[in-house]
Amino acid sequence: MKKQKYYILDSRKRGGGTSRTMMYIYGGIGIFLVIFPFIIVNLRFQTGFIFSKIFDYIGRLCLIGGGFFTGYSILSIFIGGRHLNLKMLTTGIVLLWIGCWLTGEVLSILGIQIGDSPSNPGYH
């Protein structure tokens, strides 16, 4: 049989939460809780503004890419291609849908609206 080693932890060596570092941590948490209600409103609006700009930029890129893919796949029929590239057309329409969803715009392609939210069946 193998000998097992047992370790005894001495609670006096760990500090028990009364060390100077723990007091700084508790003080920082207390100061944060006192100041937090005053800065949370501005922080909420600033993060919302930043994320809206990021999503708007990503949506614009999706609209540009989707328009390019859709236009290229449709124009390839007239330029000399013999068939419609369905993968590129599907990718373009999905990118247009994502772009409309991110930016809130509505596109109409041959009478089909992309990005239009359905009406709410509940309260009007």
Full-model pTM:
0.57
Between 87 and 10, the higher pLDDT residue: 87
2 lies in a domain?
no
How far, in Å, are 5, 6, 8, 16, 18 from residue 11 at the CA level? 19, 16, 9, 7, 12
pLDDT at residue 120, rounded to an integer: 56
User: What is the number of structural domains in the chain?
Assistant: 1
Model confidence band, residue 110 (pLDDT cutoffs 50, 70, 90): low
Residue-number span of the structural domain to which 58 is assigned: 18-114
pLDDT digits (tens, 9 = 90+) for 13-63: 555 546 788 889 999 998 888 887 777 777 778 888 888 899 999 999 999
Element (H, E) at 101: helix 86-103
122 lies in a domain?
no
Cβ pair 19, 27 in contact under 8 A? no
Mean pLDDT in the chain? 79
124 lies in a domain?
no
